[in-house]
A and B are shown apart, each in its own frame.
Chain A
């Protein structure tokens, strides 16, 4: 009986620990996108400077990332058509950023289409993550 509850307790502890271990961090995304980018250009290394330029450029269209997110990723942005507040993008200012693949891929997928009219390359995503990770400077 006692042994059984101990087993359950250990099982529960292991489950909780694995839950924490699987939580993703901004560094995980940076590493993943860099690895992907290196498949086509082996010398690729993410650049925060390129990331900032990419974020604030309209890429020939109407919007840039900063149209809604502002040029300062540590402050709140505002949706360009609805006006709804958008929490800061920099993980240093908003710990909910770059914590789940589902959310990160969903928003890169949607917003790259809106801004660039195409999906973003792994290299572009790595650059943006690198820039957001060093903000605030």
Chain B
């Protein structure tokens, strides 16, 4: 990567206009860590988004709204009774990188090892995109393929809206790594809604061990109407291979990854159920 220009817009409109004018060589910049993963001689004109008041977390109605340029360390430290995002942010990379990396950078261009897309799919988050005016897009549509497709004409991600968990909701996530700072081998996130002792709704998503994060709809379907027990979770997790073709990774066969994913799905569901029971108690 070769940074040949550094632009500091004063408004979102100016930022968008600059990116539209620059075309493919324009790159929105917040934390900037992704710059270092770009090929050596690629000329880049950076449009700095850090002066546009896009770093914040606030509760608005039924959503927590996180500004796109909010560092992961701020999300990790934020606390509220119906907030669960800190759990996964604590597990992303090292503290020094979390001080710089932003939620927007993590999800505008999704790298295979990214954890937040998995969590946002499970949580049914909504992304706010500025295209001259603000528009919202649900996680299923946003992560249906590489989100970078949405920003080629200069549009910008400005915020992520996370639904506030209700009393009967439970959330759990699991990130399997070799050590604390390593990239994920498999990441699983699960959101359960319990009603009268049974699972009324479920969203389960996976990432890292598959080419692109996705929901595990066969697993979700197998959970509906069942009691949230270990047996239920194990039976549902056994169906994950229907939804995802697990990829072999360094030092791990595809079979091993599939086993790791199934165990991680059960663990995430157990955590979600425990969370939900804690809320209803």
Pairing of A with B: no
A residues neighboring B (CB under 8 Å): none
B residues neighboring A (CB under 8 Å): none
